[in-house]
Structure 1
Amino acid sequence: MAKGITPRTDSVRSPNALDATTGSPEAGPVPAGRRRQGGDLYRRMVARDFDANRSVTVLLVVLMMLSVLLAVASAGTLVRLTGAAGNLMTQADAPHVVQLHAGDYDQSAVDRWAGERPDVVAQQTMLMLGIDGANLFFDDVPQTTNIQQNALVVPNTERDLLLDLDNQPITDVAPGTIVLPVIYQVEAGLEVGGTVRITAEDGFEKEFTIAGFARDSIMNPAITSSKRLAVSAADLEEVRAHTGSVEHLISFWLADPDAQTGEFEKAYQDSDLPQAGQLVDSAAFRMFTMIGDGLVAAVVILVAVLLLGVGLLCLRFSFLTAAEQDYREIGVLKAIGVAPRDVKRIYLTKYALLAGLASVLGLLGGWALTPLLTRSITRYMGSAPSVGNWLIPILAALVVFAMLVLFVVVLLRRLDKVSAVTALSAGATGRQSSASRLRLHRSRMPVHLRLGIMDVVGRLTTYLLLFLVFVISTFIMIVPVNSATTANALEFINYMGTGAVDLRIDLRYTDDTSADQFARALDRLSADPDAATITPMVTTRNDTVDKDGNTISLYVENGDHALLPPLYAEGRAPTDSSEIALSLLALNQAGRQVGDTLPVEVGGQTRDLSIVGSYQDITNGGKTAKASLTTDADDVMWYMIGVELAPGADPTDKAAEYTDRLAPAKVADIEQWRIQTLGPIAGQIAITAGASAIVAVALAMLMTALFTRMLLARDAGPIAVQRAIGADDSGLRGQYLTRILLVLVGGVIVGTLAANTLGEGLFNLMFEAMFGGFETLGQGTSRIDFAVNPLLAYVALPAALIGAVAAAAVASSRSISATSISTLTTE
């Protein structure tokens, strides 16, 4: 040993001693006094946090509650939608495949064919007596502008039942009364006790009293073009003797519809059985039934997911702020020997309690909101009470709660990096804000405004959270509104498989006289100087193959497509009989691209047609085509004439005039046709968009208030110093308002750009899922461009957001007046 150096035995630590450097016990029990001291500090930290940050805590709970509320409401809406749709089809015993046939047919041939097939469980045929709108009056209002094909039927008694508003079968209708589809109660405001009158050209007139309203499992929504009106057998025969066109609904029930429908449809189409009409299966019925409310649920889910993201970001900011304020206390706890897991438990307990409270409140709020979102579902389909209606929302709330708690667990790993020595030496905060390179001197800008900008530039990472919140709020606000304006825009007609015309005239093929009626209509239109451009189209059903080589039917609209072009997503309109254009969904089903060839059966022969274009179409199941093929009578499904009027001609007046002259054709001005086809869906989207905008503004206000109060807590020292040297409170508030608005402007710009790009893509994904099923997601089967209202999307909505955020920032910064040097010293 060196001379003069004496060993110090008191510096040798016992293996059970506390490591004061790391702040963690290496081994051995912690003295009882220290445990009590740690427990007291534990309680003080939690109590002080709740007491000092009451408003922040409340806002955090409200934000998490909104996330849970929307998650519960969207889950509740989906489960009730699927349950109600399934219950309606089950209660009504809806058919699995339906062939609509106009004209004569041999029922015995259908019976023999069905009897020979082991996959057919049952077959049933219903007679439908179509009544022209000019001969049909609801409460003395002629239905000339009603685009629905209204038909009298005698209700079935065993299968394919019409259900009353209690979802009970309607098997008998008293003579002199009529039961109308529920859509006429919801959309037209008809009531029980009203009148329905049917007239005929021979002077016949029959009046019915509305006895009730029916839910129809296969013809319920507006997007289906046919409606069944139930009457007694005697009344139907009486009306049939004077007016009406006879059609038949040939229905089949299969043993295993999920596996057998495709093969059955192919076999039916290859047979000689009646096929003068559309062939539709239960998947299409379900899609038509769910599309409107399904889009609403999809929008709510989108908002819920985005709001949950904001909640997690807010939770992160709240945790980091609280941990920073408690930095010294954390060091003390570690120094006295409290285990790291116990330190983490402090924060986990706190945020788990807050998340639990938010989940309970959100669950209750979601249950209260669900009936409002499902009001349309209940009116059109009824309700389907089940355990799932309560269980699924509870599971949704539990999932959100679990995500919030797990997120906190991940954040708690940051505490592992905190050492006792560093925390105790750092003081009340563990980090200092980075100095800004901007300088206050030589600036003509007001001091407080300049200070606000300097703070944002110097602490960009801190303000990133608020920036993301404003981006998401703008996105939540603009995307649903743009979706609503798109669905309600006149230009949306381009996505319904047709071009923009003034009038649309539809005539269904019923028998050999239909071609003559079509020719006479063209002659009369040609003689009218108000009809500037006339575009006749003949739709046929032609066989082709899908991507798997299976034979499928395709509705092909034939004519001169240069006169009535839809909006082509790719390519152009066909110009001769060797070309064809397909809807995006039909193109996906065929597994082909523009430039390929498609085998199509024309006149009994298969021809390879060049695919020259693709377009959006949401009518007829979204699977249609355009060509210039020969139109044999056996293949014709319906006729359509598009009319562009001369300047000065009123579409509404001309529609009424043509209705009388061109009967039995259906005449509608194109706007009326769009509204009646898509109007209820567009209306639901508009309501959801309004609610989403309110949620977005509320979200931005809540987050602004939360962020501002947390920022004030962080900046208590600098604020006190500035007040001590003479800074006025209004100027200090101006600093924080400058910071918030600067971040808001950037968030609105980015959010608007995202809404018009990413938001448009999400809107198309919703349409893809609704029309083509989840297997078509991301396949490009929907390419709808937003029809943006610039004044609403770029002026009114951002202005409302800016005003709300500014008000929240000003209100939240009032606590500046209570901040002083003496207060900080006391604390």
Structure 2
Amino acid sequence: MNKRLILNDFKSNKLINISTCLFMAVTAMLLGLSIYLFTSLVASIDTLMNKAETPHFLQMHTGDPEEAKINEFVASREDVEKKQICRFLNLQNSCLSIGDVSFETNMQDNGLCCQGECFDYLLDGYNNVIQAGSGEVYVPVAYKNEYKIKQGDTMRIGTEELTVAGFLRDSQMNSMMASSKRFLVSETDYERLKELGSEEYLIEFRLKEGSDPNKFATEYKDAGLPENGPTITYPLIKTMNALSDGIMILVILLVSFVVLFISIICIRYIILTQLEKDRREIGMLKAVGIRGKDIRFLYLSKYLILSMIGCLVGIVLAVVIAGLLGFGIKEMYGETENKALVYIFMILGAFLAEAIILIFVRRTLRRTEKESAVSALCGRSSSSKKNNLWIPAFIISAATVFMILVPMGMKSTMADPEFVTYMGIGNSHIRVDVRQKDDINAATIKISDAIQKDDRVGELSVMKTRSYKVRLQDGKIYGLMLENGDHGIFPVNYQEGKYPENETEIALSVINAEEMGVKPGDKVTVLKDDGDGINEEYYCTVCGIYSDITNGGKTAKGCFDDSNDKSSPMWSIIYISLKDESMISKWVEEYQSIFSSVDEGVKIIEIADYIRGTYGQTIRNINDASVLTMALSGIIIMIVIILLMRLIIWRDRKDSSLKKALGISSSEIRKDYTKKLIIYTLSGVVIGVLLGVFLGQKLAAGFLSLMGATGFKFVINPFATFILVPVLIMLSVGLAAMISLTEIKRIRAAECLNSGVE
């Protein structure tokens, strides 16, 4: 009997059942898709880093690597498994081109290297170790699609030429968030081309299982070993690899939760309407002795079948879409060794979505047990209950607007020039980097003096980064990359406090402050090496904590006098603003031709180009997610409104029939429905915009805090937020209303004369 009842229900309520199944399928698809992409990303990165044998600790160094001193340090330790020193030949981007593409505007530090001897291997498309032949070069896979490079293209370094033999995966520099990119050549070609660039060293260590890379980094610095450059650890490399695609996946996960919420709301009202429609049948079943629990199980069986169908459809769709969205992950990091496990997690994610929906279905169906047989046979729903069906229109329109605005807001925020202040970078027009030079200090003075004489320059700030140590009040010592200069000209974003103004103040990045356990007002001692191994001490107060995602987010800012400092800075940065913003591109082009051709290691770039170069891939991923979300939201709201309007019209059918019998036309009845629909959906859109701007900012802040960017505010696109998105939702609602309100014409005036009460 149960099978017959369920089959009859499927035949008589096709629209409701198809809509319910559709919501279940979309929810299963999105949650399964986000879990698939996340597990695939993590597993692929793990596979790549394991096969490449990524170093646990890496110290980039310009100058003598002092190998004998390093060997002595290694011999005294039991936690070092392997050690190697790799050469990296920095090239002038202005002298580098592949095919028809010039790297003059590329902001990465590009250079040549040879294959690692013991570990840190560069891998091909199948994650095999590459052996470059003479005259061949392997290009970072990140540039393959960025510059449309093909195998067989010619790479030119000045007058020298190499043939692109393929593309490489670099486990530590794969992401565009890494500031350097390695091109693989043979030992012979490296020696031949050595005079075309400046050499830097990568001092790398593989540690034994269970060793702490951060502790090792501190002890490395304490030993006074070469450290004229950034320090990178295994966890930081893994984080940088995951962030670009990870942010997009988090956005999809957020969308999946919003769709899950929408599905629960819609299915709940579908069930309530179905129970109202079947009121008399339920009363009859109770009258003949069938228990409320058995009736509930009958309905639950139907939704269980719909859930199974929706889950299967969702899994198939997730696999298809994952193949499209996951292509970039596969190309950047390769296939995971645990593909079966990834699919298992995806299926579990889809099942989880259905389980959550079924839990709410079961709770909603409890009302079948509460009503007596008599009331079910004789009663009917009140008008207040009818009006409740308008509430989902309000809730879902708000949810869809919110769902669109979060990724849209993240994209516009990251693309905005002011976002650099959350990256630990001054909000200037132009940035000049001075790196990989024998005397960075002298080059910085020469360049800044020349720029200051330019009448077009409005403001200029010189920042020099050196390695310091800081001693906390409990005696613990931490290594710091401290940036000295006037931080008031182009201030970064401070989560707490302010920028340092004198030698008694120091500001720390969020990650450093958390690691050290300090806050504004705490006292620390900064230890300065004057080049003779003698530490000068500065007794400082932590004046501020700022957002930073450069150099792993572990930086500091100070105003110490370094005029008599004998040690060379790790690097220098000159921030510049022009009096006339329209001159920025021309000014950059002019100074690139002046300095880049005569000074190796000098890079001049617009701040806007710097953001695009570093986070362009992430911004594009979020933009893709934003477009997908907008399209999905338009479809969802249209289906929901069609469904809800059909349900409302069905429940009001006898009232509408009576109105027609009294002479009220179909168009007048449609106007009444349209007015109510506009009021509820427009109210929902307004609330959705407010939620997207305020709550969405908090969610986006949570996502971007994973990169070290904290305390930021949405950069809102007024046209998109207040016009484009509301118009899109209201057009979808209008189209849905036109489709669903055609049902009014089919209602006959005589229907109200039918005997019997629902």
Q: Same fold by TM-score, threshold 0.5 exceeded?
A: yes
- Partner AA of 1:185 in structure 2: K
Name whichever of 378-387 and 644-653 sits farther off: 644-653
TM normalised by structure 1 equals: 0.87
Identity over aligned pairs, percent = 29
Q: Which residue of 2 aligns with 1:486?
A: 413
Superposition pairs of residues 371-390 of structure 1, within 5 angstroms:
371-385=323-337, 386-390=339-343
Structure 2 CA distance for partners of 1:362 and 1:271, relative to 1, 3 Å: same
Residue-by-residue CA offset, 1:743-776 (whole Å, 9 max, x unaligned): 11111111111111111000011122x336xxxx
Counterpart of 1:433 in structure 2 is 383
Alpha-carbon distance in structure 1 between the residues aligned to 2:582 and 2:259? 50
Does the Cα contact within 8 Å between 1:63 and 1:702 map onto a contact in 2?
A: no
Structure 1 position 549, deviation (Å): 6.9
Alpha-carbon distance, 1:527 to partner = 2.8
Q: Tell me: CA distance 1:139–1:93, structure 2 relative to 1, closer, same or farther (3 Å).
A: same
Matched, 1:285 2:237: yes
Deviation at 1:314, TM superposition (A): 1.1
In the alignment, the residues of structure 2 paired with residue 306 and residue 694 of structure 1 have an alpha-carbon distance, to the nearest angstrom, of 15
* 1:517 and 2:443 aligned: yes
SS of 1:472's equivalent in the other structure is helix
CA contact (8 A) 1:475 1:752 kept: yes
Distance in 2 of aligned mates of 1:317 and 1:642: 58
TM-score (norm 2): 0.94
Tell me the distance in 1 between the aligned counterparts of 2:264 and 2:507.
47
- The secondary structure found in structure 1 opposite 2:332 is helix
Judge conservation of contact 1:292–1:680 (CA < 8 Å) in 2: yes
CA contact (8 A) 2:53 2:121 kept: yes
C-alpha contact 2:469 2:526 (8 A) present in aligned 1: yes
Provide closer, same or farther for how the CA distance between residues 583 and 507 of structure 1 changes in structure 2, counting only shifts above 3 A.
same
Q: How do residues 264-413 of structure 1 correspond to structure 2 at under 5 angstroms?
A: 264-385=216-337, 386-413=339-366
Q: Which moved more, 1:93-102 or 1:141-150?
A: 141-150
Q: Give the match's secondary structure for 1:782.
A: coil
Q: Distance in 2 between matches of 1:505 and 1:642?
A: 6
Match of 1:476 in 2: 403
Residue in structure 1 matched with residue 615 of structure 2 by the alignment: 678
Structure 1 residue 560, shift from structure 2 partner = 1.0
- Could you tell me how far apart the structure 1 residues matched to 2:511 and 2:215 are? 20
How big is each residue's C-alpha offset from its partner over 1:94-152, in whole Å with a ceiling of 9 and x where there is no partner? Answer: 11111111111221221221132111111111111111122222235442321111111
In structure 2, what is the equivalent of residue 74 of structure 1?
Answer: 34
Which residue of structure 2 aligns with residue 538 of structure 1?
464
- Which of residues 6, 14, 18 in structure 2 aligns to 1:58? 18
Q: 1:737 to 1:168 in 2, by over 3 A?
A: same
Distance 2:364 2:206 in 1: 56
The answer to whether 1:230 aligns with 2:184 is yes
Residue aligned with 1:483, SS: helix
2: CA distance between counterparts of 1:565 and 1:137? 36
For 2:149, the equivalent position in structure 1 comes to 190
Alignment-derived partner of residue 671 in structure 2? 734
CA distance in 2, matches of 1:648, 1:82: 42
Structure 2 CA distance, aligned partners of 1:278 and 1:59? 56
Write out aligned runs for 1:197-216 (5 A). Answer: 197-199=156-158, 205-216=159-170
Larger radius of gyration: 1
- Equivalent-residue separation in structure 1 for 2:710 and 2:473 (angstroms): 19
Specify the SS of the correspondent of 2:557.
strand
Q: Structure 2 CA distance, aligned partners of 1:139 and 1:533?
A: 39
For residues 594-605 of structure 1, what are the structure 2 equivalents within 5 Å?
A: 594-603=520-529, 604-605=535-536
Are 1:707 and 2:659 matched, yes or no?
no
Describe the superposition over 1:496-536 as per-residue Cα deviations: whole angstroms up to 9, x where unpaired.
2122222110012543x222211211222123333332211
1:66-105 aligned at under 5 Å gives the runs 66-105=26-65
**Which consecutive unaligned segments of at least 5 residues does structure 1 have?**
1-38, 200-204, 435-457, 773-780
- Partner amino acid, structure 2, of 1:351: Y
The whole-number CA distance in structure 2 between the counterparts of 1:480 and 1:143 is 31
What residue number does 1:626 align with? 557
Letter in structure 1 aligned against 2:28:
V
Q: Residue 296 and residue 409 in structure 1: after superposition, are their counterparts in 2 closer, same or farther (change >3 A)? A: same
1:303 counterpart letter in structure 2: V
Aligned length: 743
Deviation at 1:157, TM superposition (A): 4.4
| Structure 1 residue 47 displacement after superposition | 4.8
Q: Is the 8 A contact 1:181 1:216 kept in 2?
A: yes
Name which of 367, 376, 380 aligns with 1:414. 367
Residues 276, 510 of structure 1: 8 Å contact kept = no
Match of 1:756 among 670, 682, 693: 693
Task: Indicate the residue corresponding to 2:532 in structure 1.
Answer: none
Q: Structure 1 260/617 Cα, relative in aligned 2: closer, same or farther at 3 Å? A: closer
Instruction: State the SS of the aligned residue for 1:387.
Output: helix
Counterparts in 2 of 1:136 and 1:723: CA distance versus 1, 3 Å: same
Structure 2 Cα separation of the partners of residues 580 and 138 of structure 1: 44
Residue in structure 1 matched with residue 545 of structure 2 by the alignment: 614
After superposition, the C-alpha distances for 1:180-233 in whole angstroms (9 at most, x for unaligned) are 11121121111111111122xxxxx31111111111000011111111111111
1:813 corresponds to: 741
CA-based RMSD of the aligned residues comes to: 2.1
2:393 equivalent to 1:466: yes
Superposed CA deviations along residues 328-349 of structure 1, whole A, max 9, x for unmatched, are 1111111111122221122111
Deviation string 1:464-491 (CA, Å, 9 cap, x unpaired) is 2221111111100111111111111122
**Which amino acid counterpart does residue 409 of structure 2 have in structure 1?**
N
AA aligned opposite 1:818: R
AA aligned opposite 1:433: S
Pairwise CA distance, 1:432: 1.0
Letter of the 1:534 partner, please give it.
L
Q: Write the distance in 2 (CA, Å) between the matches of 1:47 and 1:406.
A: 23
Correspondence for 2:132 among 173, 180, 184:
173
1:633 to partner: Cα distance: 4.6
The aligned amino acid for 1:745 is: L
User: Counterparts of 2:475 and 2:289 in 1: how far apart (Å)?
Assistant: 73
Give the 3 Å change call, closer, same or farther, for CA 56–734 of structure 1 in structure 2.
Answer: farther
1:539, CA displacement in angstroms?
Answer: 1.1
Does the Cα contact within 8 Å between 1:583 and 1:614 map onto a contact in 2?
Answer: yes
User: AA paired with 1:407?
Assistant: F
**CA distance in 2 between partners of 1:566 and 1:228 (Å):** 30
Aligned counterparts of 1:810 and 1:538: Cα–Cα separation in 2:
65
Q: Which runs of 5+ in 2 are unaligned?
A: 530-534
